[in-house]
Structures are given as structure tokens and as C-alpha cells.
Amino acid sequence: MMKKTVLTITLNPSVDKSTSVQNIVPEKKLRCDTPKYEAGGGGINVSRALKRLGISSNALFTSGGKTGNMLEVLLKQEELDITPILISSETRENFIVVDTTTNQQYRFGFPGEAFTAEEKGNILAIVDQLNPIPDFVVISGSLPNDVPANFIGLLINKCKAKGSKVVVDTSGDALKVALEEGVYFLKPNAGELADLVGKEELASTDLDHAAQQIIAQGQAVLVVVSLGAQGAVLYTAAEKIQMVPPLVKIRSTVGAGDSMVAGMVSVLARGGTTEELLRMGIACGSATTMAEGTALFQKKDVDRLYDEVRKQ
């Protein structure tokens, strides 16, 4: 069977700069270790992780200024298939620093700048002209500042009109818009799902009800709710599967959610079962938490953890 094709879309990519320092204290000059630079942002991380799983994808993202150039260079070094869309504002950076005294990680995320009306039109036009049409489109990550949530709705509609199955991993108003438009696959965490149904928090039975309601209303075919250290629950119209991750030594949670999405999309691309999909997602997410700083998983860790993920 032919592998399905995948496109990832990242509207607010970043270059992640990570370092470590001994004993973070205020008002003192802190001598940091040599920084590491890595490509970041939801869909970009999904494409990077898919590559490690043997699935090729096209990473479409906005790129501007010196940081945008650096982002493109980093992705070419990883031999990814990329479609950068030039914008006038500078691509953002994120800064991650580990205090080696406590091993605590501090994450500083900068906002992306808004697109001009022309840039929005250009992004939609490029998606419209995609040929061949990818089987799966993964729209993942945040929106830049002042880009309205309904822009995600326009993107989703373009992709659905072309027959692509849309996978969405975002939050806030953008997630609400995705739900209104209807997608193939949604991956909220428990807090985001509670927000979607207008609740403060959800008990496990409410979680089931909320996810099943989304599916019954035709807003998604597949919903996976991530529960952090407790694993994740998968829902379709016909089934509910819950799985728990193995215990691992957590070094960093950066990129774990994106890795989880990549693991699940890799199974969709290969035509696997829902059980394999959830198991692979949890294995990839867990394996990434074992990596330092902003690094993603190593394939050997995924292979080992895959067999240790257990059904609840």
C-alpha cells in the first residue's frame, strides 16, 4: 500500500535558542553555555519528527528576516522538504534556559508579528495552488499576534475543499474555529477540551461526553485527548481507547506534543489501526521528554517505548 502524503502548516514558526547556566539569580551577570539553535513551531516540529519515523512531508511555513533565513538553513540541514512563504516581519525566536543547579527549565516564548492583508492572501493562494493535494494536512502551533482566529478557518476550508483530511493541534480561539469548521482529527489536552465545551475542568466521564459530542456533531472523526503523564485517550464514533506511557526520566517537555502528533500522523500515513496510532503517539511524546533542551526524540527510544505503552 502506498504511503499517504502529508503537508504541515506552521503560521508562527520560530528558531529555538537553548542554553544552560549555573544558578539563575536576578541582577547578576549569568555566564551561559554555548547556545544551540533548532527549528521550532508546531508543524515544523511535526515534519522534523515525521522524518525520523521514515515519513516524508512538506513543511509549509512563513519566513522573514535573518531569523527566517536561519530557520530555512536549519531545516535544509535536516534534509526536509520545505515551502517557505516570505513575509516582511522577522521570524520569532524562543529562548530556553536550564538552571544546572536545580535542573529546572525556563521557557521564554516571543510573539510573532501580524501578517499584512497581502501576506494573508498569499498564504491562502499558495495553499490553493498545491498540486498534488496532500492526503493529510497538519495545521499546528500558535497564531502570530493580531492574526484573527478565523484565518485558520479559511485554511481548513481550502484544504477540505481539495479533499485533504485536516489534523489540527492548536489552542484558544483558533481551536474553537477549527471545531466550528469541522476537521478530521483533533488533539486537545484536557484543559483545552474543557474550554471548548465552556467548563472550568472536566472529570473523566465529562471528558468522554465532551469528546463524543464533538464526534457526534460531525466536528471531528477522531479525537485524541492528551493527559500529560497519564497518557492519552482516543475517541471515534465507535470506540474509546486509553493508554498510559511508561515511566521515563523527563529532561524537557519542549516538542513533546508535536512529537505525539507526528507519531499519530505517521500511523495514519501508513494506514495503521487506531490502537497503533495512540501507542505510537504516546511513545513519540514520551521519547521526546527524554531529550535535552529543545531536541526531539531518538528513533531507538521510540521503538523501545512503543512496546511499553500499556492499555488502561
CA torsion angle for 271, 274, 277, 279 (degrees, to 10)? -140
The candidate with the shortest Cα–Cα distance to 142, out of 152, 154, 134, is: 152
Q: 14, 2 in Cβ contact below 8 A? A: no
How far lies 75's CA from each of 51, 59, 63, 78, 215, in Å? 11, 9, 12, 5, 36
Q: 18, 294 in Cβ contact below 8 A? A: yes
Give the type of residue at 124: L
Beta-strand relationship, 232-235 and 222-226: antiparallel
Give the type of residue at 26: P
Q: 102, 94 in Cβ contact below 8 A? A: no
Which three cell numbers, joined as nine digits, stand for 96? 530556553
Q: 137, 7 in Cβ contact below 8 A? A: yes
Upper half-sphere CA count for residue 57 (Cβ side, 13 Å): 33
From the list 258, 301, 303, 307, the catalytic residue is 258
Is the bond into 132 cis (omega within 30 degrees of 0)?
A: yes
Catalytic annotation present for 258: yes
* Spatial separation of the C-alpha atoms in residues 62 and 90, rounded to whole Å: 10
Give the type of residue at 264: M
State the residue for C-alpha cell 535573518: 66
* Spatial separation of the C-alpha atoms in residues 228 and 220, rounded to whole Å: 22
Classify residue 284 by its DSSP letter: H
Catalytic annotation, residues: 258
